[in-house]
């Protein structure tokens, strides 16, 4: 099955697509960020000109890329066009993909730039269609509006939204970036640096507001077990909210979670969290779980960081950010001081540009 298709009345676009496909990329060494043997095999074949292999490596990202474009353009049809152009540009740019970031991050950057160009340089009605790359074949693309729909609608209302979760990392952190053992009950010799939140009403209210604004919690196994050992037996508004929230645990060893409303995400953590973002609408809160945060940051799955910075430097201990394959630009969207000495910083992940 051909990877491109041309619409009726646009045969010249089909020829342009065929010409682009004949411009065979140089099959260079496979970037390290394409992690599995199967992905490396497909990428190598795609760089050698195999259109089906290229379809294989981008297929897992079609749904979320379309949703990303829809959120930027607020139009189902425009999002389809942006996705098509994104995939065409990605095919042409394969020789330039060096693997410094993940394949997903690379595709997101291309999609963001395509959408920014569309909003900034929209063509007037009646403009030459030949100025735009031909559409890609979207027949296999999952519909972002329904899991069961077998064919795409011909049009969608401009106001219809795409359900898309937003992963929000919430961390207590020292001035020098340490996140280990803030409560002092994990055995770390410098632990206990946050004090008792119950004795700090502004911080307690902040925690409650954050829980009330979340649709679900996402946790690593160790953090889940820490929370599950404490909150089910507690009472009060915060305890009630945390106990009631759906909880998702990334773990390959946890089999029978005891805390109510808990689900273990089985399989590849990155894939499972990406699916969770597609299935939920609203904030998916990640409290603590710094090892999970490392993985989510590396694979560009985090949307927002909320850091409560405490006025202490430890000089040792596990830190929030580990080594990454690429820089992570962010935008400061809010800052406030609570309890006189704790600074709350909110950052959005800056994508594209």
| Nearest-angstrom CA–CA distance, 229 and 227 | 5
pLDDT at 74: 75
Q: Where are the alpha helices (DSSP H) in 245-335?
A: 269-279, 290-298
Domains and CATH numbers, the chain: 11-131 (1.10.1740.10), 165-349 (3.40.430.10)
**DSSP three-state, residue 203:** helix
The structure tokens listed for 321 are 């950010």
Spatial strand order in the sheet of 282-287: 262-265, 247-250, 214-220, 282-287, 165-174, 304-310, 342-349, 330-338
List Cβ neighbours of 241 (8 Å cut-off, separation of 6 or more).
208, 211, 212
Three-state SS string across 80-93, please? HHHHHHHHHHHHHC
| Nearest-angstrom CA–CA distance, 51 and 54 | 5
Distances (CA, A) of 292 to 109, 220, 302: 23, 6, 11
Phi-psi group of 258: left, alpha or beta (phi > 0 → left; psi -120 to 50 → alpha; rest → beta): alpha
pLDDT at 336: 93
Would you write out the chain's pLDDT as a tens digit for each of its 353 residues?
Answer: 333 323 333 333 333 333 333 433 333 434 434 456 777 788 888 888 888 888 888 888 888 888 888 777 877 778 888 889 899 888 888 877 766 667 777 888 888 888 888 876 433 333 332 222 323 332 233 333 333 333 333 333 333 344 578 999 999 999 999 999 888 888 899 998 887 665 788 888 899 999 999 999 999 999 999 999 999 999 999 999 999 999 999 999 998 898 999 999 988 999 999 999 988 888 999 998 988 999 999 888 999 999 999 999 999 999 988 777 778 899 999 999 998 999 999 999 987 65
| Nearest-angstrom CA–CA distance, 240 and 249 | 19
pLDDT at 314: 94
DSSP character at residue 248: E
Cα–Cα nearest to 54, from 75, 24, 32, 33: 24
Cα–Cα nearest to 298, from 270, 272, 335, 267: 270
């Amino acid at each position: 099955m051909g990877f491109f298709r041309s619409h009726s009345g646009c045969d010249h676009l089909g020829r342009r697509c065929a010409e682009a496909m004949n411009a065979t990329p140089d099959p260079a060494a496979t970037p390290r960020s394409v992690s599995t043997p199967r992905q490396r095999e497909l990428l190598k074949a795609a760089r050698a000109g195999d259109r089906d292999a290229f379809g294989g490596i981008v297929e897992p990202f079609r749904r979320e890329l379309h949703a990303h474009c829809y959120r930027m353009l607020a139009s189902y049809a425009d999002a389809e066009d942006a996705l098509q152009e994104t995939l065409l540009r990605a095919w042409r740019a394969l020789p330039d993909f060096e693997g410094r970031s993940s394949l997903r991050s690379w595709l997101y950057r291309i999609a963001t730039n395509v959408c920014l160009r569309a909003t900034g340089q929209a063509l007037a009605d009646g403009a030459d269609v030949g100025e735009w790359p031909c559409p890609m074949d979207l027949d296999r693309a999952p519909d972002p509006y329904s899991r069961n729909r077998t064919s795409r609608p011909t049009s969608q209302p401009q106001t219809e939204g795409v359900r898309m979760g937003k992963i929000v990392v919430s961390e207590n952190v020292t001035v020098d970036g340490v996140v280990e053992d803030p409560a002092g009950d994990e055995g770390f010799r410098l632990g206990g640096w946050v004090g008792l939140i119950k004795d700090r009403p502004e911080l307690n209210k902040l925690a409650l507001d954050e829980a009330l604004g979340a649709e679900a919690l996402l946790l690593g196994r160790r953090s889940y077990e820490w929370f599950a050992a404490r909150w089910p037996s507690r009472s009060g508004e915060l305890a009630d909210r945390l106990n009631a929230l759906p909880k998702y645990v990334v773990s390959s060893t946890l089999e029978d979670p005891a805390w109510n409303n808990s689900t273990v995400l089985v399989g590849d953590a990155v894939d499972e969290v990406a699916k969770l973002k597609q299935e939920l609408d609203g904030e998916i809160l990640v409290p603590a779980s710094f090892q999970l945060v490392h993985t989510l940051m590396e694979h560009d799955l985090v949307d927002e960081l909320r850091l409560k910075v405490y006025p202490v430097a430890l000089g040792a201990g596990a830190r929030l950010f580990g080594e990454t394959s690429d820089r992570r630009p962010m935008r400061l969207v809010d800052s406030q001081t609570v309890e006189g000495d704790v600074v709350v910083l909110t950052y959005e992940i800056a994508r594209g540009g």
